[in-house]
Amino acid sequence: MIKGGLTVDESGPAELYFESKDTSVEIWVDSVSLQPFTTEEWRSHREQTIEEKHKRKVRIHVVDKQNKPLANATISIVQKKLSFPFGSAINKNILTNTAYQNWFTSRFTVTAFEDEMKWYTNEPSQGHEDYSAADAMLKFAQQHGISVRGHNVLWDDPRYQPSWVNSLSASQLSTAVTNRIYSIMKRYKGQVIGWDVVNENLHFSFFERKLGPQASAHAYKAAKFIDPSTTLFLNDYNTIEDSRDGSSSPTAYANKVRSIQSSGGRNLGIGLESHFNVPNIPYMRSAIDTLGALGLPMWLTEVDVQSGQNQATYLEQVLREAHAHPKINGIILWTAWKPEGCYRMCLTDNNFRNLPTGNVVDKLLKKWGGAGQVLSGTTGSDGTLEASLFHGDYQVTVTQPGANTSYAVQGFEVAPTETSQKRLILRV
């Protein structure tokens, strides 16, 4: 099946044209459908999907000590944590900057380290390992209940190898790679929620050229042996950003997944870096649809948008589309703060005042039920209140009619695995 999306700014007749550069291939076309959507229809569909994917109806029933329904009781529901993983990359600057810490921890539930888990940082000279920054950042994240993605074990780009690696023979490199995989993965086993095992190996082939075409597959197999319960991600760019880059197209990505699986790689996940210039939202959706057919965990792992007049608008489009898609399991922004400037996109200035991009993040967190969001109402004659809540952790407070003090306080979770209406009984 071929599926795609495009944006057309003109009206009139349209023709679909199919071409193959392989003259031995016959093209048979069946069941062609070109479906138009207005912007309003697209937005409506997206909002409907968000409701189905991320929310659950909750019925709160309040009774008195005699188990009789309590009408007109005031109920306040405060969300303590959002279940959907949404976060940003960080770097070691956060360890010594209280303002950065406060801004970050009040918003995000997941992170990745910009450079501190990469090979060139951990082993700048052969045999001399340094995990001090990564250890401290992991401890900081754990203290604040923030999950961490392991980024990354190996990077296939020849420009980002430790300087000493280039002089190694094939056998020496093989040993060094094995040592690297065991070193970082055994150190942080059970402490990260995913590993980017071989980063960007659709675009680059440093290890394949040095060690043979199965180098990446062998790395995933070794990673599975060391940490069998953690998702092992492929991670690459221009899969949902740019339809012209065939090296990491959804088809190329799917073929790479199947190749690694056939060589013994298991527990695989799909990492979509998502470094956008001008996003093509229909293409983004169709690419995610295609990869979603693999049935694997799928994250947007390094989201940013090229600076420009429409940066905040484009960021909002990408985040809304990703959050709504039923196959996307988490989002991380590539916006680690540095005083000299972020990689491509910052969310705040150096005083941690929001830039327009930061305002977009706060607006969407509020809309998606981020931590601290409050919903209140009163029970009906039957002592009940119904609410549609985002998946997450909540605290509910009940105040009796005419009372100035709160009585029942209880925590509860709305879990993504729940498929029916959740019921909660409170006795005051």
Measured CA to CA, the distance from residue 11 to residue 57 in angstroms comes to 42
Q: Put the strands of the sheet holding 74-82 in their side by side order.
A: 374-378, 74-82, 392-399, 408-414
Measured CA to CA, the distance from residue 58 to residue 51 in angstroms comes to 13
Whether 15 is catalytic is no
Identify the DSSP state of 401.
T
Residue 118 has, within 13 A of its CA and on its CB side, a CA count of 17
Measured CA to CA, the distance from residue 257 to residue 253 in angstroms comes to 6
The active-site residue, picked from 114, 116, 302, 316, is 302
- The torsion of the CA quartet 208, 225, 169, 130, rounded to 10 degrees, works out to 110
Query: What is the identity of the amino acid at 98?
Result: T
CB neighbours of 342 closer than 8 A, spacing ≥ 6?
304, 335, 336
Among candidate residues 54, 100, 43, the one with its CA nearest the CA of residue 79:
54
Whether 200 is catalytic is yes
Measured CA to CA, the distance from residue 21 to residue 405 in angstroms comes to 75
Read off the tokens for 172.
Answer: 């020496």
CB 83 within 8 A of CB 89: no
Q: How many CB atoms lie within 10 A of CB 13?
A: 4
CB 123 within 8 A of CB 180: yes
The active-site residue, picked from 114, 116, 200, 316, is 200
CB 156 within 8 A of CB 162: no
Please provide the DSSP assignment of 149-169 as one string: EEEEEEE--GGGS-GGGGG--
Q: At what angle do helices 281-292 and 311-324 cross, to 10 degrees?
A: 30
- Give bridge partners of residue 413 from the DSSP assignment: 393
Quick one: three-class SS letters along 77-98?
EEEEEECCCEEECECHHHHHCH
Q: Which residues are catalytic?
A: 200, 302
